[in-house]
Amino acid sequence: MFKTALHATVAATALFATGTAYADVTVYTAGPEKLIADLAAGFTAETGIKVEFFQATTGKVMARIEAEAANPVVDVLISASWDTATDFAERGWLVPYTSPNAAMVPDFLKTDTAVAQGVAALAIAWNPNSGTPRPAEWADLAKPEYKDLVNLPDPAQSGSAFELVAALSADGDMSMFESLAANGAIVAGANADALNPVLQGAKAAVFGAVDYISLNGKAKGESIEVIFPSSGTVIAPRPVMIMEWSDNQDEAKAFVDYMLSDAGQAIVAKQNLMPARTDVAADRPLIGDLKILPIDAATVYGKRAETLESFAKTFGK
């Protein structure tokens, strides 16, 4: 672990030894603002390289990249969906890079052109003050006790919610979602739109909440409990990519090294995400503690339009 903690410093020292001037590195991220702010501050303190960052929803980040197509600005992209890494790699937009600090990242969380910053999982977010019984399984939220009291994130707006819908509707079986719709469950926009009414007490639970957002709320004293059904859930790795058009690839690689260093992964864990590295502790359930539902990404995303259409019809959208 001592060696991995030094890799970012060693990389930066090697850069400085060339005597070249350093450009800022620009990072676009769909993650929490506190996370990128702390990573940027830690990286700058360790290397002297400044970080300019843009933090927003996945949709807004992708829209900005598209708008800047003629004059790209972003050096490093952190997405909330692994599908972005797959898509961008197929387009030839990514630089192959394997950080020396990625040795303890499991193979399924890294490729030649992307590596997970951290991992979220989807869960039931339940308000214990809602007057409803504590749910244990996804199907519990379709019971009469939860009539008109459940929100779902829209899978058309949330990649992780889409993957949960796909995993729970294998072979096109929408029966669970039909039961939820019949029980008055509402599709409430993006992840925060689904969670906020539960935090405020207007709803009892979110079906498919992004865990770290709810865990952060609980840490701040919100009335919320995060429940991982034993029947299984899906995870949402957050891929980090270096863009092929970047003029600051050395600085970008140094940033990735820092993000995967002991210090960088501790910052990830502090935001209640699972660290990508298996040797970094976190005060939350980790991948090995959860039953992960299998997802064949090529098949699932190949049927994305069909799945979203069936889901929308189920909820009368």
Q: Angle, to 10 degrees, between the axis of helix 262-270 and the axis of helix 249-259?
A: 60
Give the residue among 64, 119, 114 at the shortest CA–CA distance from 91. 114
Tokens of 52: 């300019």
Residues 6 or more apart whose CB falls under 8 angstroms from that of 90 comprise none
Q: Three-class SS of residue 295?
A: coil
Q: Is 212 annotated as a binding residue?
A: yes
Provide CB contacts within 8 A for 11, sequence distance 6+: 253, 254, 257
> What's the rounded Cα separation, in Å, for the pair 139 and 142?
6
Rounded to 5 degrees, what are φ and ψ at 2?
Answer: -60, -40
3-state secondary structure 236-274: EEEEEEEECCCCCHHHHHHHHHHHCCHHHHHHHHHCCCE
Q: What is the 3-state secondary structure (H, E, C) of 16-32?
A: HHCCCCCCCEEEEECCC
Query: Nearest to residue 133, comparing CAs of 184, 204, 181?
Result: 204
Strands (E), the chain: 25-29, 51-55, 76-78, 115-126, 150-152, 186-187, 205-210, 225-227, 235-242, 274-275
Contact 277, 260 (CB under 8 A): yes
Q: Which residues does the annotation place in the binding site for Fe cation?
A: 212
Q: Which residues does the annotation place in the binding site?
A: 212
